[in-house]
Structure 1
Amino acid sequence: MAGVGKVIRKHNVDWIVSFNKNIGLASNNIAEAWAIREGLKLALLNACYFLIIETYSQLLIDLLRNPSIPCHSLSPLLSDCETLMRQLQEVELRHIFEEANHVANVLAKEGAKQ
């Protein structure tokens, strides 16, 4: 079972909101795309219009930066992400190593248990 988890923080690291969710069986890239999409929805609900999205998936960063690259299994999730990102005033995609995002990893593991 796969879980997703994300944390939305202010620039000074103050916690705004977090979430986790079980998404069933999924690859790591599908789980990360789900997490980005759910995080974007949550950011918009909390009026966070300037975002830095940190992900360990360089593939997702490349696909979100270049929507013309075909990727059939991720296309619906990426399309949702692109639509949500257009509602933001500013968004930056950053690659980080998975180990660097300990809180999101803990949330994802808890989500998988649900």
Structure 2
Amino acid sequence: MGFARLSGITSGVMVEFWSLKNGLNLASQLRISSICVELNAELIVLLLTNYSINNLMLEPLLDNCKTLLKKFRRSTVQHIFKVANQCANALVKFGATLSSDYVNFVNSPPVVEDLLALDKAEHFL
């Protein structure tokens, strides 16, 4: 299962935060109990894992994501490099072309099929 959303004109950090929120909501709706979140926005990883950092502009989304993470029995949040997050980046670009705000996918959209096949092949090497 996956999704894409129309982001409009905003910063990369906000796109990643909204994607995180939507992904956590989707995982929660699917009753997933354990989750490993991989983000290429180091700032968000830092904000999620270091409670002493405050950012008033991002605080509402940050608090919402922290609350959503608590719904899972186990959760980890870690930074990965953009090259390891190509499916998510392709879906962000795809989201920019949407005519609606948000779309769920039961099957992979064509924009990520090759990337998913490559990821799967690399895991078996």
What SS does the aligned partner of 2:6 have?
Answer: strand
Aligned length: 98
Structure 1 outlier segments of 4+, above 3 Å:
none
Matches within 5 A, 1:8-47: 17-47=1-31
Q: Percent of aligned positions with the same letter in both sequences? A: 35
How many angstroms apart in 2 are the aligned matches of 1:77 and 1:50?
A: 21
| Structure number having the greater strand percentage | 1
Aligned to 1:91: 75
Tell me the TM-score normalized by structure 2: 0.75
Matches within 5 A, 1:1-114: 17-114=1-98
| Structure number having the greater helix percentage | 2
**Structure 2: runs of 5+ lacking an equivalent:** 99-125
How many angstroms apart in 1 are the aligned matches of 2:90 and 2:72?
A: 27
How many angstroms apart in 2 are the aligned matches of 1:67 and 1:107?
A: 30
What amino acid sits opposite 1:91 in the alignment? S
How many angstroms apart in 2 are the aligned matches of 1:59 and 1:106?
A: 21
How many angstroms apart in 2 are the aligned matches of 1:111 and 1:67?
A: 31
How many angstroms apart in 2 are the aligned matches of 1:31 and 1:72?
A: 17
**Structure 1: runs of 5+ lacking an equivalent:** 1-16
How many angstroms apart in 2 are the aligned matches of 1:55 and 1:27?
A: 15
Q: Let me know the Cα RMSD of the aligned residues.
A: 1.0
How many angstroms apart in 2 are the aligned matches of 1:86 and 1:80?
A: 10
Whichever of the two has the greater Rg, that structure is: 2
Deviation, structure 1 residue 23: 2.0
What amino acid sits opposite 1:94 in the alignment? Q
